[in-house]
Structure 1
Amino acid sequence: MSASRSRRPPTKGDQRERALIDAARTILREKSIGQVTIDELASTAGIARSGFYFYFESKQSLLAALIDQEIAVADAETAEWLASDGLDRDALRRCLSAGLARWKLDGRWLREAFVTPDPGPEVMQVRAALVDQGCALFRERIERDAAAGRTVAGPPALLAKMVIDLRTITFTQAYADPGASGDELVDALTDAILRLLYGVNP
């Protein structure tokens, strides 16, 4: 039996949960989580307020679910470069360009999710998992290049964390400054990461 036939179709419950997550994504582009009401989220998703609590305990748990979806998105953005070796500037630039485009659109809630010091325990748990996963993937790539003598000296785990932090800070600032040049910013970030890891001027 093919995978397409064996895959369970989404239930009404799945669809309502997805509707709430999609509603949160849309609303949180304009408002902070503190400004949004559960009534607003439920109404935008097309369900009753009482239905909200069937799927999520709080607004923060809904935000955590939205962040959790970012794992697949972030993985897809970086997959090409993480699978390659050496500088591969073009692949890195493409993944950073995709990430910047996402932050330009969803930066308000991404900033709240990844930069706010205390977004709540549910969000912190998912944030930590996402950051740890991202660091692990970057560390594995750095370790491959370190074994081949390509990278600068330094613990791969620390270098990976530096790359993740640099990317997040740059994207956060780009969201705060909509007039910033996308191409110029992506080029600068790409070359900064490559200099950090490989000690060369790409």
Structure 2
Amino acid sequence: MIYLNTEELWAIYSSSLKTYIMKHIPDKYEAEDILQEVGIRMQKNANRIKDITNVEAWLYRIAHNLIVDYFRGANKHLLTDHINEIPVPAATEQENYNKEAAECLLKLLEYLPDTYKEAIIESDYNGKKQSLLGQKWGLSNSGSKTRIQRARKKLKKVLLSCCEVKSDNAGNIIDFYNKENDGTEFSCIKC
């Protein structure tokens, strides 16, 4: 079997991915940012691409998830009301527990210090840009980015202290349960 490198894959799929993203994202610049993020995630997973059965479907799943994240930031209610309206190529459809994990993460924010709780809520839930948050907090752009990254790591640590989480290559959560009570899905001790 012939494996293509990331540059070759990008040359093949970037144009159709851009068209797909622009059908769902009204702002041209936001759509281009999302396309760029798809490329970055592909590069980060370059060593695992040869193990992916359908690279095209995997790239479209990444784009789909980023579109959902965009709407989550723009309007949290829009996400839950319209999440199933964003079509994804049929080859990528599979059951996941992203919504349940997101609900659990919101509850687990209570276990973070207020500084980190605010960082997650403002950046990931309310969709505020890191540069604006840096100004609000009196930090540089890199300082606000670092705070948000630390907050995410701390939140992940809280989640993994009680739950077993498994994800697919695209980052979708495909298995999610309490470590101490196997088989009890979505019942984290802390949430």
TM-score normalised to the size of structure 2? 0.30
Richer in helix (by share): 1
Richer in strand (by share): 2
State the structure with more CA Rg: 1
Higher relative contact order at CA 8 Å, sep ≥6: structure 1 or structure 2?
Answer: 1
TM-score normalised to the size of structure 1? 0.29
